[in-house]
Amino acid sequence: MDIHECLERGLLKTDIPDGKKAARSLAVARLRLIKASKLATAGFSDDAIVNAYAAMFHAGRALLFRDGFREKSHYGLYVYIGERYRDKLEPRFISELDSLRLERHEIMYSLDTIGVSQDESKHVITVAKDFVVAVEKILK
């Protein structure tokens, strides 16, 4: 699927470019990183991963807001970032965004307990921090 198909299917919507929304979304991303770190330290690794993903999601939304788009699905945001920013972001960020999107879904909606190690949550938080920094550089 590409951006055009996401627009046709309603996974993305066009909007007026909005730097203020982009800045607010980036601020939310930073707060989610803080929360993720606190949760990981307290031993809540699955919740730490959910918040680390949320940090990446909000950083990605900042790019959409700046470009004049809104996401209507997490998948739409992933497609947009992967297509529009593949030359400006390291490939690992795009693949991590997708794998964390899926992992977050499993953690949130599975009827089974998902075993997440503290080491994994710390790794994910590091990736999320690096992603937020990369997005900040793009937005400047």
Mean pLDDT along residues 83-100: 95
Q: Is 24 helix (H, G, I), strand (E, B) or coil?
A: helix
Which residues does 24 contact at the CB level (< 8 Å), separation at least 6?
A: none
For position 84, which CATH number holds? 1.20.120.330
Residue 115 has pLDDT above 80, yes or no: no
At 111, is the pLDDT very low, low, confident or very high (cuts 50, 70, 90)? confident
Across the chain, mean pLDDT equals 94
Number of domains in the chain: 1
Query: What secondary structure letter does DSSP report for 87?
Result: T
116: left (phi over 0), alpha (psi -120 to 50) or beta: beta
At 107, is the pLDDT very low, low, confident or very high (cuts 50, 70, 90)? confident
* CA atoms of 107 and 45, how far apart (whole Å): 10
Residue 66: domain span: 3-139
Residue 14 dihedral angles phi and psi, to the nearest 5°? -80, 155
Which residues does 67 contact at the CB level (< 8 Å), separation at least 6?
A: 17, 84
* Report field, pTM of the whole predicted structure over 0.75: yes
* CA atoms of 55 and 110, how far apart (whole Å): 21
- List, for residues 26-70, the tens digit of each pLDDT value: 999 999 999 999 999 999 999 999 999 999 999 999 999 999 999
